[in-house]
A and B are shown apart, each in its own frame.
Chain A
Amino acid sequence: MAFIRGFGAYLPPHVVSNDEIGPQVGCDANWIVNVSGIEERRFANGESVADMATRAAEDCLERSEVPSSKIGMILVSSGSSERQFPGPAAALACRLGLNTTPAIDIPMASAGSLFAMSLASRLAKAYGTILVVGAEKMSSVVMRQPMERGVAILFGDGAGACLIDEEKGPARIVDSVIQTDGAFREDLRLDFEKPLEMNGRSVILQASRKIPRAVETLLGRNGRKPEDVDTYLMHQANQNLIARIAQALGVAEEKFFSNIRKYGNTSSASMLIAAAEWFQTHEFKLDVPVCFASFGAGYHWGALLAEGVA
């Protein structure tokens, strides 16, 4: 069994409003809000992916009251790392004072942190406490020329972290579903030194079907129904998509925690940033389900079920 020990996050201080970015791609602030729910996002001007990952990790460890020396493995998800290799995981491990702990990069974009949590829940038995981080500098991607309106408005920078523990935590990880459909690998991709390519219609069409299906599969095989879930902590891709997922599951949109308005789509960091923010004012209730879900380039997607413990 594995437990969620705690969360952490880091958002760069530089706020970029819709009024600032809209004119750069020929649209106004209201249009951005209407199509995405985003009002502003953060850009990490001088910080690297590893810098943000470190800040989020330190925040997580401090909130969890766990020293870095206890970490048995590190998993870092990022699709916007500055180098092909090594990725940010090695730098993060070094900065946490760890020089033999295995640190693995998971360059999967948006679904990366969900996949990492799922894998961590299964690896905790062997590696003890596992630090999962999602860190993204999407500003370095979306500002590549030529800037495309549907892409540039969506993304922001930030990092989220989660500590998975073999022994204890406020919630146990009950189960998870992770899946991949490579038939659509061309529809959302980032080629080296190129702008991000996104077939938005395909992304929305597939995500609106695959996410609910994964959630229903996960909940069903654990004797739960969508309405049993207290809170959904989903990848913050687009508020309209979140609303569609809620509708497909037959639950109120209010059950889906959302902070996309403030931070935009931070790719693989977003789900953990949302979780960290949610956890600051909420708690896992005893035996009450909380469902994590994500979808991203690949396509990769999945859902993870946690329940509060005494």
Chain B
Amino acid sequence: MDDRRAQIVEILQRVTRQDVTPAADESLFDSGLLDSFALTDVVAALEQEFNLKIPDSDLNPRKFDTIARIESYLVDHS
């Protein structure tokens, strides 16, 4: 697992307080790992961890539904 992905997983574990390592394409919503409020915490943590500001226009929940999609977003906006 590369560093970026490991950081994402660490954020998920910290926000959800669960020692989980979802598969890259596993839906974080459908699995029940993230609810609406946990999602806001994940977004805030991503901004802080990766030193970026995610504009409201980018906050389509589907972009944060899987680790792969989160990683893709971070790559595009790094």
Q: Is the interface of A mostly helix, strand, loop or mixed?
A: helix
Within 8 Å by CB of A181, from B37, B43, B56, lies B56
Query: Which of A181, A205, A209, A210 has its CB near the most chain B CB atoms (within 10 A)?
Result: A205
Chain B min CB distance to A241 (Å): 8
Whole-angstrom CA separation of A121 from B40 in the bound complex:
33
In chain B, what residue has the closest Cβ to A299? Answer: B56
Q: Are B61 and A202 in contact, CB atoms less than 8 angstroms apart? A: yes
Decide if B56 touches A206 in the complex (CB within 8 Å): yes
Q: Does A80 contact B (CB under 8 A)?
A: no
Cα(A135)–Cα(B10), bound, Å: 46
Q: Is the CB of B61 within 8 A of A199?
A: yes
Could you say which residues of chain A place their CB within 8 Å of the CB of B59?
Answer: 202, 205-206, 209
Chain B nearest Cβ from A2, distance in angstroms: 30
Tell me the complex Cα distance, A199–B62, Å.
11
Interface string of A193-213 (1 = CB under 8 A from B): 000000111111110111000
Count of residues in B whose CB is under 8 Å from the partner chain: 12
Q: Is B36 close to A, CB under 8 A? A: yes
Asked whether, in the complex, the Cβ of B43 is within 8 Å of the Cβ of A205, the reply is yes
Q: How far is the CB of A12 from chain B (nearest CB, A)?
A: 29
Contact in complex: A201, B39 (CB < 8 Å) = yes
Judge if B60 is at the interface, Cβ distance under 8 Å: yes
Total A-B residue pairs with C-beta atoms closer than 8 Å?
36
Rounded to whole angstroms, the CA-CA distance of A241 and B37 in the bound complex is 8
Which residues of B in the span 26-78 have a Cβ within 8 Å of any Cβ on A? 29, 35-37, 39-40, 43, 56-57, 59-61
Asked if A205 and B40 make an inter-chain contact with CB atoms under 8 angstroms apart, the answer reads yes
What residues on A are CB-neighbors of B40 within 8 Å?
Answer: 204-205, 208-209, 244
Separation of A200 and B60 alpha carbons in the complex (Å): 11
Measured CB to CB, the nearest residue on chain A to B57 is A183
Chain A residues with Cβ below 8 Å from B57 are 183
* Complex: A203 Cα to B59 Cα, angstroms: 10
A240 within 8 A of partner (CB): yes
CB distance from A38 to the nearest CB of B (A): 15
Q: How far is the CB of B43 from chain A (nearest CB, A)?
A: 7
Would B56 and A201 count as touching, CB distance under 8 A? no
Closest to B40 in A: A208
* Bound-complex Cα distance A183 to B59 (A): 11
**Interfacial chain A residues near B37, Cβ < 8 Å:** 204, 208, 240-241, 244
In the complex, which residues of chain B have a beta carbon less than 8 angstroms from the beta carbon of A208? Answer: 37, 40
Residue positions of B touching A, CB distance < 8 A:
29, 35-37, 39-40, 43, 56-57, 59-61
Q: List 15 A-B contacts (CB under 8 A).
A: A35-B35, A183-B57, A199-B61, A201-B36, A202-B60, A202-B61, A203-B36, A204-B36, A204-B40, A205-B43, A205-B61, A206-B56, A240-B37, A244-B37, A244-B40
